[in-house]
């Protein structure tokens, strides 16, 4: 139960930090906070304690590939924000992320059917 509370607190701290930074003179740093590996650390700790080192390597490799959908999301936000209002921009960028993540998952499970 304590680990669950700790995970929730880490998420809350990240959201608070983003909110505070977005109001600062250096608002753009708020875009760096989600890239702090808070959740990757949690995922890697859990995989590393419950599975083999090889499985941790596969998790890290998949994490590297997961940057592609995130990059597509950011490119969509960048391209759409001057043309659309906020809600459609974020909605379409999220759909672009979902599509890219779906392609990644389909490709990964085809090329690495056993996970590694």
Average pLDDT value over all residues in the chain: 92
pTM, 2 dp: 0.79
Distances from the Cα of 1 to the Cαs of 5, 7, 15, 62, 76, in angstroms?
Answer: 6, 10, 22, 28, 39
pLDDT at 30 over 60: yes
DSSP states along 80-114: HTTTS-HHHHHHHHHHHHHHHHHHHHHHHHHH-TT
The per-residue pLDDT for 115 is 57
Among 66, 26, 52, residue whose Cα is nearest residue 114:
52
pLDDT at 65 over 80: yes
At 37, is the secondary structure helix, strand, or coil? coil
Reading the block at residue 31, the tokens are 């875009």
């Amino acid at each position: 139960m304590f680990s669950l509370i700790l995970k929730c607190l880490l998420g809350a701290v990240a959201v608070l930090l983003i909110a505070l930074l977005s109001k600062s003179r250096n608002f753009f740093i708020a875009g760096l906070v989600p890239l702090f590996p808070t959740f990757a650390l949690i995922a890697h700790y859990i995989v590393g304690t419950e599975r083999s080192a090889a499985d941790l390597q596969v998790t890290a490799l998949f994490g590297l590939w997961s940057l592609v959908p995130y990059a597509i999301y950011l490119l969509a936000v960048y391209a759409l924000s001057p043309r659309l209002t906020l809600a459609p921009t974020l909605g379409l960028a999220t759909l672009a992320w979902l599509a890219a993540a779906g392609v990644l998952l389909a490709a990964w499970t085809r090329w690495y059917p056993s996970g590694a």
